Amino acid sequence: MTATTSDSRVSIPQLELMKDWSEYLVDSVQRAVLFGDVLRQRGDIFLENQARGEPPVLIFGYDVLIDGRTLDRPCNYVLMKIRAPQGVTVDPTKRPVVVVDPRAGQGPGVGGFKLDSEIGFALRAG
């Protein structure tokens, strides 16, 4: 079966293909706009952090013990003591927990970005 136009004949499968193609184009443009918005939001967060002196993104309180940027051979590490949140008691007789955050992005929140991170578990364990 064919549908006629003023210039030529177009078959039904061709019309369906054009419809599918137009839906695909709309979807790809919408995704591109959403992706651009995510990049804009991430850029805004980056600029805010830079304006504040690039503070750590920890949700726990902390005291800086050694800042690697001030060493004779500067490095990109900071030795911090994490303060326990309110309501959590820490047993001073237990050994301290040392966490090295590799910044590889593969862990479940090693760096203390959320309560369910390894730091959060260690603090709750006392």
Q: Where in the chain are the domains?
A: 2-51, 56-126
Rounded to whole angstroms, the Cα distance separating 33 from 114 reads 30
Neighbours of 116 (CB within 10 A): 10
Is the model's pLDDT at 92 over the cut of 80?
yes
How many of the other CB atoms lie within 10 Å of CB of 123?
Answer: 20
- The share of the chain scoring above pLDDT 70, in percent, equals 75
pLDDT over 90 at 41, yes or no: yes
Flag whether pLDDT at 31 surpasses 90: yes
pLDDT of residue 70: 92
Mean pLDDT of 103-119: 59
Looking at residue 73, its pLDDT comes to 95
How many whole angstroms separate alpha carbon 37 and alpha carbon 42?
9
- Mean pLDDT throughout 34-61? 86
Report if pTM > 0.75. no
